[in-house]
Amino acid sequence: MILVIDVSNTNSTLGVFDGDKLVANWRLSTLSSRTSDETGMLLRMLFVHSGMDISEIDAVVVSSVVPNVMYSLLSGIRKYLQREPMVVRAGMKTGINLRMENPKEMGTDRIVNLVAAYELYGGPAIVVDYSTATTFDVVSEKGEFLTGITAPGVQICADALTRRAAQLPKIEIKRPETLITKNTVDSIQAGLVLGHIGETIYIIQQIKEKLDLPNMKVIATGGLAKVIDENEEIFDVYDPVLALQGLRLLYEKNRNRR
């Protein structure tokens, strides 16, 4: 069994694979203040709560876009799991050709998603990830990264709105029943959610048009993807554990290169 950990700016997602089957997964807040002992004990408690034996973990794979959590995270894994984690970094075998000016600028979270999308669903495809930022990444039929777009995430926009406008309340991020609103909460939800729906549809349409790939698949991940496409009209595939699958696939590609 392998433990995979995807560390994003807001949340960290963890999963356990038995072969290619995901048998457990968890979502935690990403906190730079956790010590290595707190990290290790938290991992052990998750396994106990799920009725699994942590000693059965053969390998650990980590992807992170938050450098200041890595020391404690890796130290906690080494101390409490007695495993040397594989860390996703430049130079790994991915199966994706990063056709960009500086491939090292590509976030590991986006690489992980592209690996999973291409291996599991094929190309050409647009991978849309609703995380701290909303990203749109394109992989070709031959596994080439063609372009990527980064936009402020839905939650970032909501937080900025309430922080900069003193009289606006914090709201639940959900789609309002109608665009024609008559109260403040519905008004904010309409602007926020429907605005991001419009952004998503427009960017997808433009990518397909500019690359002349009208039939490419659209693969979405991230919890807010369900809010954006609750009627299942925009995305061809919704995979909430795409990053975990990508980490498993990267381990399989690189296990003999360590």
Measured at the CA of 142, the angle between CA 136 and CA 148, to 5 degrees, comes to 15
Residue 190 DSSP code: I
Which candidate, 86, 24, 93, 25, places its Cα nearest to that of 61?
86
Q: Two tokens at 101? A: 């000016």
Are the C-beta atoms of 140 and 123 separated by less than 8 Å? yes
Residue 256 has φ and ψ, to the nearest 5°, of -95, 5
Catalytic member of 18, 37, 53, 109: 109
Annotate 43-73 with b (16+ C-beta within 10 A) or e (fewer).
beebbeeeebebeebebbbbbbbbeebeebb
Question: Is 53 labeled as catalytic in the residue annotation?
Answer: no
Which amino acids are annotated catalytic? 109
